[in-house]
Structure 1
Amino acid sequence: MSEPRILLADCDSYFVRCAMLADPEGAGRSELVIVGGSPTGRGVVTSASYAARAFGVHAGMPMATAVRLCPGAVFAPVPGEVVRGKHVEVRAVLDDFSPVVEAASVDEFYLDLTGTELMYHGEPLEQTALRIQREVMERTGISISIGGATGRTLAKIAASVNKPFGVCIVPPGGEAEFMARFPVSDIPGVGPALAESLRRRGVTMVRDLAVQDLATVVSWVGDSRGPWLHRLARGEDGGRVSRRGPQKSVSHERTFPMDISDREELETRLLMLAVETGASLRAEGLRARTVTVRVRYADFTDRSASRTAPEPIESDRAIYAVARELFRELLARRAGGIRLLGVGVSKLGPEQEAEPELFADVEGSGETERDRRLAEASDKLRGKYGRGTLVPARIANRDPKDRHRGRGDSEAES
């Protein structure tokens, strides 16, 4: 049986590259590009070019800080239509190279080339990766870095070694040596809290962890993560690639740089998450029955609420209407500063022609044909001119009385 041959294709500064392709005369002519919210508003950085990162700009940073650190940059909105379109194009190229491709995110793809040695005439995996890299660039204009290994976690780590537009292949048998050089914080799934807990025990590098026995590691991090972390520190990665099954949910979340307690601000954020979720849903040709809202409070307590609609929905208005009710119900149970907010939809199905009589055009009754057409038009405008092009007036210019209507009114809301 042949050794597993797993690749991770990771798009380099994907949102930046898409912004450059969307605006070749603006962002496309600059090395300093920052993508995200408005530079004059309260938005955050989604991505920054490598040149801008040298100034200290990074994802999640307030745009106001990015402007101060890198005033000469070109600031661009997220080009949603280009982001989705290039994802499909890159996936099509990768499908030509591997029978099994798994999209891990909008800009990451796993490929399983196990057992394809004869198809590639014994070509070294590194050469195959270089050919994939060139083909993706030529056909899509997207730069990718590729990592290769016998497991998916090692492949993901390897993909970060030679970015941008680099290739790093971990040879079979060299997994433990490869892992030994990394800090434990570089392991996907090891967050700041776990890394700090290990640091207090004298473990900062993977090599420090690899010399510990299983019982010790389990006593440190618990029965669920202990065996996984113990194996991975020794280069033992059993992660494989699977074909994507039917999509079960679509969601968008935001972690705020500072906790937010203001209801007006939070409901505006909730609306924009509903808009993003609706756009992703429609891009997949789907409708949803269930809407879920998730909040994380300042003390890291998570709460969520869900509701299932009688008929499938897809429009921003309908998703937000349900999300806002759920949101206010959560706030009625507990107020306080919010550090994360999310909107998701599930119970998905393909778009179908709606029966007009099921959607009477009455406020609050359900999704209307007008809602769906407006959402479709909005998708086209945001895709062409950027995500910030359209901000629904019902939030931006709401009547003050409407701000306090409904269940769960509170001065401090998520």
Structure 2
Amino acid sequence: MRATASILHLDLDAFFAAVEQRDKPSLRGKPVIVGGVGGRGVVSTASYEARRFGVRSAMSMAEARSRCPHAAVLSGRFDAYRAASHVVMDRLRELSPRVQPLSLDEAFVDLAAADDFDPDSVEETVAELRADIERLTDGLTCSVGVASSKFLAKIASELNKPDGHFIVAPGSEQQLLAPMRVSAIPGVGPATTERLRRLGAETVEQLRALSLDELSGSLGNASGRSLYQLARGQDDREVESHREAKSVSVEDTFPVDIADRGELEAVTDALARTVARRLRAAGQSGRTITLKIRRHDFETHTRSTTLAAPTDHPRTITDTAMALLRAADVTGGLRLLGVGVSGLTDWVQDDLFTPESPVEEDPPPPRHSLRSRAAASWSPGMDVHHAEHGDGWVWGSGLGRVTVRFETRETPAGPILTFAADDPALSLAGPAAAGTVET
């Protein structure tokens, strides 16, 4: 435990949904749900307007729709989310050289690692940070907690959500935790909560009354010891600014199952080249190429090949992934396809006898695949461009038609027009035009 409140936890509020509301003026102030839009979909993020109806993350999309039938249900645009995340993470790195991203919308910052850290100015630092993030991201808000440990900082960031902050004064940690439900402790889910209830502990204060032996006997040594310490606010974990990536991968979840091998090969090619491009951008290479498939019945399988030496070469990665696809059974169709490279290193030693081919830094999309998929199902929320009407996003689709709302972040809510799904004047834009959607 530190003597100062110098570990900051930041969480962007309803991040995916907030980006959609920012970029789609007609959705601002209205319920928005982001996630899988098919019959097997689950909620990734819900706006606060949708949460008032009981919609929450990890809920089935079918239940979310029944709870909030008037919500806009969108499939997600991960390039837009990554772009906003980069802006936020860059701003955090101006605060301190030690930043630990946990996801696109969440990170820890070690304020004390900065040369000019002043424990007496934390309040002003946080207020300035929150204002800057809202300005730099064109309106996204965040919740911030600052405390003497990572555990307490994360707890604190939840206390004034959304768009607020809380600073835990050193020495007040146990007093703050005492009245909280045990479920407030990260990692304490319904099963652990029930076990603790049987031991007579429903609040953190009651949890503290249990001995280490009692907790270890009921939860196991590791979990028992961890809860014993966290109930007392004890957490000495450091902010880790350099966590090495173990793999680079891209996945594509299809709006309708795909059984055509030609179309699957086109998607595999696009995925493999995207992975290669990201490896080169990161200055890395890898030896193990993995193909991930999810069948129509939701069974998920992976196939891998380990090369003699690490590579970042697009042709090598593509050819290997194609060979893995040819060996896979796609009978009945696939609902997800992914390509990944692991066994990463920062050096490359391709086979000297591998034929070189031009590196396509921005490879063209698989045209026949995208056209047939777009004609089958335009995904709600995706960015599109019409040759006559300009930029917009998919409002809905079905029965061979697609409805588009023409508006962008910079333009006001525009008209809603319907076109044939294969209208040559209508094309995918943004992340969809690259042929991949990350999940």
Q: TM-score, normalised by structure 2?
A: 0.65
Cα distance per residue 1:362-399 (max 9 Å; x no partner): xxxxxx968982569999x978757777879xxxxxxx
- Kindly tell me: are residues 281 and 383 of structure 1, through their superposed partners in 2, closer, same or farther at Cα, counting changes over 3 Å? farther
- Which residue of structure 2 aligns with residue 174 of structure 1? 172
| One-letter amino acid of the structure 2 residue matched with residue 34 of structure 1 | I
- Kindly tell me: are residues 201 and 12 of structure 1, through their superposed partners in 2, closer, same or farther at Cα, counting changes over 3 Å? same
Name stretches of at least 5 consecutive residues in structure 1 with no aligned partner: 255-261, 297-301, 329-340, 362-367, 393-414
Offset at 1:278?
A: 8.0
8 Å CA contact retained: 1:19, 1:77:
no
| One-letter amino acid of the structure 2 residue matched with residue 65 of structure 1 | E
Matches within 5 A, 1:366-377: 373-374=363-364
Cα distance per residue 1:296-340 (max 9 Å; x no partner): 9xxxxx998754245636879668657768987xxxxxxxxxxxx
| One-letter amino acid of the structure 1 residue matched with residue 16 of structure 2 | F
Say whether residues 1:134 and 2:126 are aligned partners. Answer: no
Partners of 2:273 and 2:166 lie apart in 1 by 37
- Which residue of structure 2 aligns with residue 346 of structure 1? 342
- Kindly tell me: are residues 386 and 199 of structure 1, through their superposed partners in 2, closer, same or farther at Cα, counting changes over 3 Å? farther
- Which residue of structure 1 aligns with residue 226 of structure 2? 228
- Which residue of structure 2 aligns with residue 407 of structure 1? none
SS in 2 for 1:114: helix
Which structure's residues are more often strand, by fraction?
2
Matches within 5 A, 1:22-37: 23-27=23-27, 29-37=28-36
Partners of 1:274 and 1:198 lie apart in 2 by 51
Partners of 1:183 and 1:230 lie apart in 2 by 15
Matches within 5 A, 1:144-293: 144-250=142-248, 282-283=277-278, 285-286=281-282, 287-291=285-289
8 Å CA contact retained: 1:295, 1:303:
yes
- Kindly tell me: are residues 375 and 184 of structure 1, through their superposed partners in 2, closer, same or farther at Cα, counting changes over 3 Å? farther
Partners of 2:116 and 2:291 lie apart in 1 by 47
8 Å CA contact retained: 1:45, 1:58:
yes
Partners of 1:179 and 1:278 lie apart in 2 by 49
SS in 2 for 1:373: coil
- Kindly tell me: are residues 354 and 73 of structure 1, through their superposed partners in 2, closer, same or farther at Cα, counting changes over 3 Å? farther
8 Å CA contact retained: 2:98, 2:113:
no
Say whether residues 1:7 and 2:8 are aligned partners. Answer: yes
- Kindly tell me: are residues 289 and 18 of structure 1, through their superposed partners in 2, closer, same or farther at Cα, counting changes over 3 Å? farther
Matches within 5 A, 1:297-308: 306-308=304-306
- Which residue of structure 2 aligns with residue 395 of structure 1? none
Offset at 1:15?
A: 0.8
Which structure's residues are more often helix, by fraction?
1
Aligned length: 354
SS in 2 for 1:102: strand
SS in 1 for 2:306: strand
Offset at 1:250?
A: 4.0
Cα distance per residue 1:143-199 (max 9 Å; x no partner): 110011111121112111111111011111111122222222222122333223222
Between the two proteins, what is the percent identity of the paired residues?
32
SS in 1 for 2:95: coil
- Kindly tell me: are residues 391 and 147 of structure 1, through their superposed partners in 2, closer, same or farther at Cα, counting changes over 3 Å? same
Offset at 1:60?
A: 2.2
- Kindly tell me: are residues 376 and 80 of structure 1, through their superposed partners in 2, closer, same or farther at Cα, counting changes over 3 Å? farther
SS in 2 for 1:91: helix
Structure 1 range deviating more: 286-295 or 271-280: 271-280
Partners of 2:118 and 2:36 lie apart in 1 by 48
Partners of 2:149 and 2:258 lie apart in 1 by 45
Offset at 1:59?
A: 1.8
- Which residue of structure 1 aligns with residue 333 of structure 2? none
Partners of 1:230 and 1:325 lie apart in 2 by 52
The alignment's C-alpha RMSD in Å is 4.6
Matches within 5 A, 1:6-85: 6-21=7-22, 23-27=23-27, 29-38=28-37, 41-85=39-83
| One-letter amino acid of the structure 2 residue matched with residue 139 of structure 1 | L
Offset at 1:99?
A: 2.6
SS in 2 for 1:34: strand
Structure 1 range deviating more: 285-294 or 56-65: 285-294
Partners of 1:278 and 1:3 lie apart in 2 by 47
SS in 1 for 2:120: coil
Cα distance per residue 1:206-240 (max 9 Å; x no partner): 22211122222222222222222111101111122
SS in 2 for 1:57: coil
Name stretches of at least 5 consecutive residues in structure 2 with no aligned partner: 295-299, 330-336, 375-381, 385-428
SS in 1 for 2:162: coil
8 Å CA contact retained: 1:292, 1:345:
yes
Partners of 1:115 and 1:360 lie apart in 2 by 45
- Kindly tell me: are residues 114 and 293 of structure 1, through their superposed partners in 2, closer, same or farther at Cα, counting changes over 3 Å? same
Partners of 1:20 and 1:352 lie apart in 2 by 42
Partners of 1:128 and 1:280 lie apart in 2 by 38
Partners of 1:252 and 1:376 lie apart in 2 by 16
- Kindly tell me: are residues 93 and 356 of structure 1, through their superposed partners in 2, closer, same or farther at Cα, counting changes over 3 Å? same
